Amino acid sequence: MSLISDLTALVGPAHVLTGADATRLGHDWTGNYRGQPIAAVRPANTAEVAAVVKLAAARKTAVIPVSGNTGLVGGSFTDGGLLLSLERLNRIRDIRPEARIAVVEAGVILSRLHDAAEAQGLYFPLWFGARGSAMISGVLSTNAGGSNVLRYGSTRALCLGLEVVLPDGRVLDLMSELHKDNSGYDLRDLFIGAEGTLGIITAAVMKLVPAPRAHATAAVALDTLSDALTLLNRLQSASGGLVEAFEFMPATYSRRLAEVRPDLGLPFATIPPVTILVELGATAPMLTDPDDSGAIPLTALLQTALAAALEEGLIHDAVIAQTETQRRALWARREAAAEITFAKRPFIDTDIAVPLDCAEAFLTAIHDRLPAIAPDAETLTVAHLGDGNLHFTVFPATADKALHDRVVSAIEDVVQSLRGSFSAEHGVGLSKLNSMQRRKDPVALDVMRAIKHALDPDGIMNPGKVLPAGAAK
């Protein structure tokens, strides 16, 4: 029988897509990677995923898992491989408020988990613009970050257990609900961030936290990033570590926002060199319950800290949200980042991480180097400043591959000099393979290749992603 016939027998004809129906799953959000899979299969549960993978393994057919298709690095691209969509594995199996965990399947959309946790007075603290389409398996496979890493950590820090279908079709049950388990190698972390190259995540046990009863949110105008870092540390001290987000938007970002999304407005009449979006969250009644005047103590705390910074000259202005509508307006300007970035082409997008006190040094150094490489290029930066993650985009005058490589290499040079990483939260996929070859420790690459070969000797699981070509040693 043909592969399509065998797949149809496993999952039903409605869930084996070919031709144009499969193509819709064959490109990433940026549109840079467009492929044609041999088919896209949509299993309904872990057993069906295992059966599909076992069939593909027997035929040595490449299997490429795909979730919400919000990736930016070509992680789900294939020409001639089998796309395995996890969209039907979409059950929230259990939410246990006392243990503060959620047991979820791979295709659960992030915003659905947010809503389900909120109904229990809890919060799943992974938050970013694509939460309405990104799925649990995707955020685990890329170890996604987002705006709240500063307080809660990235996806890896929010996961207790996994269920994984291995490349030979066996199901690995790592669905631990334990916070401590030293019984051998930590296999769970091996699959988080592996981008589907070692197996397919089908379910997970995720941590929940108490839902903040109040937020205090402000846009703050400053001169420099070093001033912003000083402000962050002061706010952390003043609030006892309640800062959940600390987002950096330079003047170039604000001007671009005004051009592409004038409907969102800007917080200040004059665009400052640095705009910071800061948000604090609290659960304690002493900080969240209105006082006799109706004021929220957490907001008053932020206002007092910012007033002191203003008097000192550390900041120049601040706009503090007084209502949920105003808070959402502040966040809308930050969450438009992808829209305003990818509206202009050609672009070279990078996703780097540097030590917290090196963000300014990176931007200074790269802007000193760029004119000699791409004289007419513009740049756009937005950053999760609280965890050192910068999304730095260059808009060259032409879409020349050699120019692209020179720009990326220069960015890598600066990042490496600062002991940073060329990949912070978007994954490696296809777009950062050259960076992996140039910048990743060769011994680390050998270890990764050995692990890949041990688990996937035939190389069928999302081949060509994450690891540059080379033999395991």
How far is Cα 471 from Cα 369, in angstroms, rounded to an integer? Answer: 35
How far is Cα 301 from Cα 280, in angstroms, rounded to an integer? Answer: 10
> In the prediction, which pLDDT does 448 show?
97
Q: Does some domain include residue 223? A: yes
* Least confident piece of the model among 34-38, 220-224, 356-360: 34-38
171 and 266: one domain? no
- Would the pLDDT of 472 be above 70? no
**Nearby residues of 34 by Cβ (< 8 Å), 6 or more positions away:** 23, 26, 27, 77
110 and 182: one domain? yes
Whether the Cβ atoms of residue 240 and residue 309 lie closer than 8 Å to each other? no
218 and 332: one domain? yes
Domain of 50, CATH number, reads 3.30.43.10
Q: Does some domain include residue 172? A: yes
How far is Cα 354 from Cα 327, in angstroms, rounded to an integer? Answer: 29
Q: Does some domain include residue 292? A: yes
Half-sphere exposure of 458 (CA within 13 A, CB side): 17
How far is Cα 410 from Cα 365, in angstroms, rounded to an integer? Answer: 10
Q: Does some domain include residue 259? A: yes
99 and 55: one domain? no
Across the range 9-36, mean pLDDT stands at 84
How far is Cα 246 from Cα 276, in angstroms, rounded to an integer? Answer: 7
360 and 309: one domain? no
Tokens representing 181 are 């388990």
How far is Cα 56 from Cα 248, in angstroms, rounded to an integer? Answer: 45
138 and 231: one domain? no
103 and 194: one domain? yes
How far is Cα 466 from Cα 205, in angstroms, rounded to an integer? Answer: 25
**Domain endpoint, select from 210, 228, 246:** 210
pLDDT digit string, tens, across residues 386-412: 999 999 999 999 999 999 999 999 999
* Mean of pLDDT over the chain: 95
pLDDT digit string, tens, across residues 408-418: 999 999 999 99
For tokens 């000699």, what's the residue?
A: 372
Across the range 422-427, mean pLDDT stands at 94
> In the prediction, which pLDDT does 70 show?
82
Return the SS3 of 229. helix
How far is Cα 4 from Cα 26, in angstroms, rounded to an integer? Answer: 17
* Torsion over CA: 432, 433, 438, 443 (sign): positive
Domain of 189, CATH number, reads 3.30.465.10
Whether the Cβ atoms of residue 175 and residue 101 lie closer than 8 Å to each other? no
How far is Cα 472 from Cα 451, in angstroms, rounded to an integer? Answer: 8
Tokens representing 348 are 């070279």
> In the prediction, which pLDDT does 74 show?
86
How far is Cα 148 from Cα 246, in angstroms, rounded to an integer? Answer: 8
Q: Does some domain include residue 442? A: no
pLDDT digit string, tens, across residues 302-331: 999 999 999 999 999 999 999 999 999 999
How far is Cα 72 from Cα 52, in angstroms, rounded to an integer? Answer: 26
Tokens representing 174 are 């790592």
> In the prediction, which pLDDT does 471 show?
52
What does DSSP say about strands 82-85 and 63-66: parallel, antiparallel, or unpaired? parallel
**Domain endpoint, select from 302, 317, 337:** 337
pLDDT digit string, tens, across residues 65-122: 999 888 888 889 998 999 999 999 999 999 999 999 999 999 999 999 999 999 999 9
Choose among 13, 32, 25: nearest CA to 426: 32
Domain of 356, CATH number, reads 3.30.70.2740
> In the prediction, which pLDDT does 427 show?
92
> In the prediction, which pLDDT does 253 show?
97
How far is Cα 153 from Cα 110, in angstroms, rounded to an integer? Answer: 16
Per DSSP, what are the bridge partners of residue 162? 174, 204
- Would the pLDDT of 459 be above 90? yes
Q: Does some domain include residue 422? A: yes
Q: Does some domain include residue 65? A: yes
- Would the pLDDT of 281 be above 90? yes
147 and 40: one domain? no
- Would the pLDDT of 435 be above 50? yes
Where helices occur in 24-141 by DSSP H, the ranges are: 46-59, 110-118, 136-141
- Would the pLDDT of 28 be above 80? no
291 and 353: one domain? no
What does DSSP say about strands 389-395 and 317-320: parallel, antiparallel, or unpaired? unpaired
Q: Does some domain include residue 447? A: no
Whether the Cβ atoms of residue 293 and residue 242 lie closer than 8 Å to each other? no
102 and 198: one domain? yes
Across the range 369-395, mean pLDDT stands at 96
34: pLDDT confidence band, cut at 50, 70 and 90?
confident
125 and 141: one domain? yes
Q: Which domain does 371 fall in, by range?
A: 344-428
pLDDT digit string, tens, across residues 158-210: 999 999 999 999 999 999 999 999 999 999 999 999 999 999 999 999 999 99
333 and 218: one domain? yes
Domain of 284, CATH number, reads 3.30.70.2190
**Domain endpoint, select from 163, 178, 210:** 210
Q: How far apart are the first and last CA of the chain?
A: 38
Q: What percent of the chain has pLDDT over 90?
A: 90
The reported pTM is 0.94
Q: What percent of the chain has pLDDT over 70?
A: 98
How far is Cα 22 from Cα 34, in angstroms, rounded to an integer? Answer: 11
473: pLDDT confidence band, cut at 50, 70 and 90?
very low
Q: What total number of domains does the chain contain?
A: 4
